[in-house]
Amino acid sequence: MTIPQQIATVALCALATMLTRFLPFLLFSGKRPTPKYITYLGDALPAAIFAMLVVYCLRNVSLFTGAHGLPEAIAITVTVGLHLWKRQMLLSIAGGTVCYMLLIQLIF
Amino acid sequence: MSSASVRRKALSAAFPQTIPILTGFGFLGLTYGIYMNVSGFPFWYPMLMALIIFGGSLEFVAVEMLLSPFAPVTCFLMALMIQARHLFYGLAMLDKYKGLGWKKLYLIFGLCDETFSINCSATVPEGVDRGWFYFFVTLLDQSYWVISAALGGLLGNLLTFNTQGLDFVMTAMFVVILLEQLLKEEKHYTALIGGAASLLCLLLFGPDSFLIPTMVCVLGLLTLLRRPIEPTLKGGDAA
């Protein structure tokens, strides 16, 4: 690939990204009132998105080979348990991560 | 209050929220920079791409693109598919980012998964300027990514300490944010829809192409079930 081709490739990636980030704001600008349906989606989506992102992070975990997803399951249980107990975001995240690192480096 | 102290206050409220991302991006950005380095690119490639594209998963794919023959249409379409989930983030942030002036442009530019999660779920503390809070979360997150990508590009594979599993920090963060959301709401319809749709589509379409079918399912179900779901949402305030 030549340098101009590389620049074009990176520019197209950036353009596609910006398109997906700016489009909702361009379509529903502050001038006109946002349609009720869109407001509803805006309120309903966050919980659905967070669930989707958790699945997205775990998408390459295989339940049927290797460690069968056990390190992930244990570390998530620890994260959730810590969070329900102390409700300290950073503590829950750090605890879960350290647990996962220990599990896959030492046990699995 | 002077504008400098407004900014300082917002920065000190924003920073603690971004610590998990400092860890996650520090690690992933280094990995990305190293990957570019061993693929034969100088450090300013990952640095500039982190700055301009600012979308982790796409940047990894872009390395492949740069190493393959020039295919602009394929690149553009592939980038659109990988990034399509950002459409949802925009819809969810329409209200929160309203009326923030010039900052809004940068907030939208920098609306990656992690920044979205923080700005969508965090409660901005009393007396802290909302616009500047969102701005600093976005700016800090992008700085972590750009700096660690550049560092990775500079250091190459000189780094050998055992970081295996550190990327789990991002999973743990999304788990905690989801849990907070569940604890806050009374009915969990939309989280269930998001979780079930993603799992089903993951099984049907596989890990590389399940996000877009998931988004279609989520939109369809939210539209069909609007009547029972809408009264359970706390009008406009997801935080």
Report whether pLDDT(A14) > 60.
Answer: yes
> Average pLDDT, stretch B115-130?
94
> Is residue A34 assigned to a domain?
yes
> Is residue A32 assigned to a domain?
yes
Residues A36 and A62 reside in one and the same domain: no
The ipTM estimated for the assembled molecules is 0.91
| Residue B18 near residue B138 (C-beta atoms within 8 A) | no
> Is residue A50 assigned to a domain?
no
Q: Give the Cα-Cα-Cα angle B88, B59, B34 (nearest 5 degrees).
A: 140
> Is residue A14 assigned to a domain?
yes
| Contact: B174, A57; criterion CB under 8 Å | yes
Instruction: Give the DSSP letter of residue B53.
Output: T
| Nearest-neighbour CA in chain B from A68: distance (Å) | 16
What is the Cα–Cα distance from A10 to B48, expressed in whole angstroms? 9
Give the model confidence (pLDDT) of A60-107 as tens digits.
998 888 889 999 999 999 999 999 999 988 899 999 999 999 999 999
- Locate the DSSP E strands across B77-230: none
Residues A67 and A98 reside in one and the same domain: yes
Model pLDDT, residue B145: 96
- How many domains, in total, are found in chain A? 2
Nearest CA in chain B to A102: B165
Domain that holds residue A81: 58-108
Residues A13 and A35 reside in one and the same domain: yes
Helix (H) or strand (E) holding A90: helix A89-102
Residues in A closer than 8 angstroms to B164, CB to CB, are 101, 104-105
Give the model confidence (pLDDT) of B59-102 as tens digits.
988 988 899 899 999 899 989 988 999 999 999 999 999 989 99
B171 and chain A in contact, CB less than 8 A: yes
Residue type, B238: A
> Is residue A53 assigned to a domain?
no
Residues 5-64 on A with a CB inside 8 Å of B are 5-6, 8-25, 28, 30, 34, 37-60
pLDDT bucket at B233, cuts 50 / 70 / 90: confident
B238 and chain A in contact, CB less than 8 A: yes
> Is residue A19 assigned to a domain?
yes
- For B233, the closest of A6, A44, A83 (CB atoms) is A44
Selected residue of A52, A58, A84 to mutate for chain B interface (largest B Cβ count, 10 A): A52
- CA atoms in the 13 A half-sphere facing the CB of A35: 8
- Three-state secondary-structure class, residue B232: helix
| Residue B14 near residue B140 (C-beta atoms within 8 A) | yes
| Contact: B176, A89; criterion CB under 8 Å | yes
